[in-house]
Amino acid sequence: MMLQRVLEPEVMASHEEALDYDAMDHAAVNRSFVDDLLAEVGEHRWAETFDVLDLGTGTAQIPVELCGRNLDYRVMATDLSTAMLEVAYANINIACLNDRIVLEQEDSKGLSYDPHRFHIVMSNSIVHHVPEPWGVFSEALRMAAPGGLVFFRDLARPDDEATVDHLVATYAGTANARQQKLFADSLRAALRPEEVRDLVREFGCPPESVTATSDRHWTWIYWRPL
């Protein structure tokens, strides 16, 4: 029987959990995300400086990676968790990127910003935290400027518990018990690529814009029409 989705808390409220999350080795995944985003943007120079909205920024590791590698990006990094934002603030200070990364506490299912404000709307691993992700996808599309890019990546729910155990052992084998549980719970809470394709189809986006991009991730890449 295929593994059913098991929801986890939408907001990480504990400072200890936020620190544990931040201490996990996300370096390779973060580099891959930024590599793929930059490759997708490529030579598209529709703005002198790209205004980016990061939904569910967590501890802001990806905005730090992005802005540390490319001067052409400014990021509005949002999260609903106070604990995550506190750690994110420290990370941005350490990286000396306060001039290009702004943190705000926002609910990605109902943002306070004017529509079509951002050249790029990105998100890494917010979807598996949200019981009803429809609102996040709707807001991402509402925030993207005409001709802008929506770039989402998240975990993909495995077929069974044996695969969950294998992925935890492979990618979090040296982590502590709480970190391993966080990863396993996130895998169980994730959507499958075909579920995401069904979701984007509701917004008139091509289902083929969602692809499986690793043994544990899907990616949605959508250029908003002009």
Q: Is residue 33 part of a domain?
A: yes
Q: Is residue 73 part of a domain?
A: yes
Q: What is the mean pLDDT of the chain?
A: 95
Query: Long-range contacts: 192-196, Cβ < 8 Å, 24+?
Result: 192/156, 192/157, 192/218, 193/156, 193/218, 196/127, 196/154, 196/220
pLDDT of residue 13: 67
Contact 174, 144 (CB under 8 A): no
Number of domains, the chain: 1
Host domain of residue 54: 15-223
197 band by pLDDT with thresholds 50, 70 and 90:
very high
CA distance linking residue 190 with residue 202, whole number of Å:
19
The CATH number for 57's domain is 3.40.50.150
**Listed residue (124, 156, 153) closest to 60, CA to CA:** 124
Average pLDDT score over residue span 151-173: 97
**Listed residue (65, 173, 62) closest to 126, CA to CA:** 62
Q: Is residue 100 part of a domain?
A: yes
Q: Is residue 146 part of a domain?
A: yes
| Model pLDDT for residues 172-196, shown as the tens digit of each residue | 999 999 889 999 999 999 999 999 9
CA distance linking residue 57 with residue 79, whole number of Å:
6
**Does pLDDT of 202 surpass 70?**
yes
**Does pLDDT of 17 surpass 90?**
no
Confidence (pTM): 0.96
At a CB cut-off of 8 Å and minimum separation 6, what does 3 contact? 157, 158, 159, 160, 161, 163, 164, 188
120 band by pLDDT with thresholds 50, 70 and 90:
very high
